[in-house]
Structure 1
């Protein structure tokens, strides 16, 4: 038994020794496996260094959106607001530009179409939809203002201005600040003296044929400022025309700027001829109008002929046509 146990111990020790020798031999041998080595940090480019190339990645280019659009699509959802022109979104054969030979350039890679502002978002269906959305914020038109005459009576001042849409670094256009204010002179209800003074103050801004006063303001940089300035001018002109300076009371008939029949010797002469007041003389209004027109407008074939006819009529003489 003792011999058998000794033999087993020898065999066991030999196996352990072999395993230890194998471990040391494996540790001494260099490893050729690249995966177990540390990678070398190369901070300087070395010629001949092999770089691993990535395989080319193929990008899939989708077809233009315009080719997939339906005929009955909702254009307001495709182009909801103002934006630059995009050729792949607009299903229209739009052309713009100049070519020496052939047709104008098409919409693809066309810089001319991107320069100008477009109104592709303002199609009739979209405008109708926007108007329907704005109706709840609007009040109905007054039924009493059913004619232009009534509108001019209750709203005598007309304000005209312009807004511009353009592509530039600034949203303000110099022409947008101009304000044009128009109104009828008869709406001010002035006396003859005040009306004459008002006309002399406004000068060429009054149109006698249409009885319209036009004031244009463009001095201030903003439209609101020019509107306030125009209202100030109208207010100042109105109150200034009603003022009577002390030297105006010293004016005689020869100093008057216009002929007033009621303040001249013609009225006294006609009353002396008939021996009664002018209000009691028949056809005296036509006579006064003819004399006033002749004196204010000057002598012409029409004014002289009209004056002669009225004089024959007021004196009960036969007219020149019958003679």
Structure 2
């Protein structure tokens, strides 16, 4: 701008020429930049052409493999597919399983996306071939079954004690079921080899745990949290009851007939009456003392066992139609009378 003012003169061609030269020389590069700027600034937006250039989106679908259950062979080794307990997987089970509650008249949901099948434990791994294979594997750790134990009677004779436990499978966060700790011990009273005193005392200690019809004593323990503890506890109870039944307290030796908890034929007057009748029926002199009456063996009297059992039943169990009928039949046999028609 300063050069233009310095050389400017009115009506002068040189001045204009110089100005023109100066402008051309100074704006030669600027003209090119301005042209490029104009092209970028005034670019036309062609909407139709842009849509034509846009490519269509192609949706590629992945190849869906067939279900594993449909490809399983019928003669496959199921132990390799389902080796142990695990959550239900529909693609691994080639069975049309159904589970769940539905309204009446409709089929339960299938195995696909079935939460009912997945939240309960299953035993799909315990098939007969797998169980057989497992049994064959543990045979090397087992001993042979005794050949002498060929029947239930022989087993009860040599192993009279029976232990009963229960295992449970249920849907719960814990695999431990509270009912699995309960242990029941069963044993026949005749296998304990008690005498009269010990048997009576043992029965009074066990109370209603004895079943007279089956002659079995049942002891159940559930107070301990673990099954092993309850098993040890029932064995302890049986041992304590057995030894307590054989003990004699000092006051037991001084008991008389009125102190007895049950009717004892040997300590009552019925025994004396039976002996006196037997001696008179055989024309024998009765010169027995009190000690002789106590030591007299009434089992030598014919039909005396049935009479003793009938009298004891009436006195201990009470009078009823059954006990009176049994007493009537025993007296008739003792006296040699015909049976009642």
Q: Is TM (by shorter chain) over 0.5? A: yes
Task: Kindly state the Cα deviation for residue 164 of structure 1 after the two structures are TM-superposed.
Answer: 2.0
CA distance in 1, matches of 2:243, 2:273: 37
Equivalent residue pairs, number: 267
The alpha carbon displacement at 1:290 in A equals: 2.1
State yes or no: 1:319 paired with 2:321.
no
Cα distance, 1:280 vs structure 2: 4.2
Instruction: Give the aligned partner of residue 91 of structure 2.
Output: 88
Residue in 1 that maps onto 2:183: 179
Residue aligning to 2:320: 300
- How many angstroms apart in 2 are the aligned matches of 1:201 and 1:244? 14
Q: Could you tell me how far apart the structure 2 residues matched to 1:165 and 1:315 are? A: 65
TM-score (structure 2 length as normaliser):
0.72
More helix by share: 2
Q: Secondary structure at the match of 2:92?
A: coil
Q: 1:94 to 1:304 in 2, by over 3 A?
A: closer
For the pair 1:64 / 2:85, whether they are aligned, the reply is no
The more displaced of 249-258 and 274-283 is 274-283
RMSD between aligned residues: 2.2
SS of residue matched to 2:217: strand
SS of 1:88's partner is: helix
What is the aligned partner in structure 2 of residue 76 from structure 1?
79
Give the stretch that moved more between structures: 179-188 or 104-113: 104-113
**Aligned partner (choices 269, 280, 283) of residue 303 of structure 2:** 283
Q: Is the 8 A contact 1:309 1:319 kept in 2?
A: no
Question: Is contact 1:95-1:106 (8 Å) kept?
Answer: yes
What whole-Å deviation, never above 9, does each CA across 1:119-144 have from its counterpart, x for those lacking one? 11111211122122222222121110
Q: Aligned residue for 1:16? A: none
Cα distance in 2 for residues equivalent to 1:67 and 1:314: 84
Q: 1:90 to 1:213 in 2, by over 3 A?
A: same
* Residue from 156, 173, 198 that aligns with 2:160: 156
Task: Write the deviation string for residues 210-235 of structure 1: whole angstroms up to 9, x where unpaired.
Answer: 01111111111110000001111111
SS of the equivalent of 1:112 reads helix
**Cα distance in structure 2, aligned partners of 1:105 and 1:312:** 75
Give unmatched runs, 5+ long, in structure 2: 1-57, 285-295
Residue in 1 that maps onto 2:143 = 139
Would the aligned equivalents of 1:284 and 1:314 in 2 still touch at CA under 8 Å? yes
Contact 1:69/1:91 (CA < 8 Å) preserved in 2?
yes
Given the alignment, which residue of 263, 266, 270 partners 1:262? 266
Following the alignment from structure 1 to structure 2, what is the Cα–Cα distance between the partners of residues 143 and 120? 35
Partners of 1:102 and 1:281 lie apart in 2 by 79
Given the alignment, which residue of 246, 249, 256 partners 1:252? 256
* Structure 1 residue 57 displacement after superposition: 8.6
For 1:311 and 1:110, locate their aligned partners in 2 and report how far apart those are by CA, in whole Å: 76
1:86 Cα deviation after fit = 0.7
Question: Which residue of the partner structure matches residue 15 of structure 1?
Answer: none
Q: Which SS does the other structure have where 1:311 is aligned? A: helix
Distance 1:306 1:74, change over 3 A: closer
Q: Distance in 2 between matches of 1:310 and 1:98?
A: 66
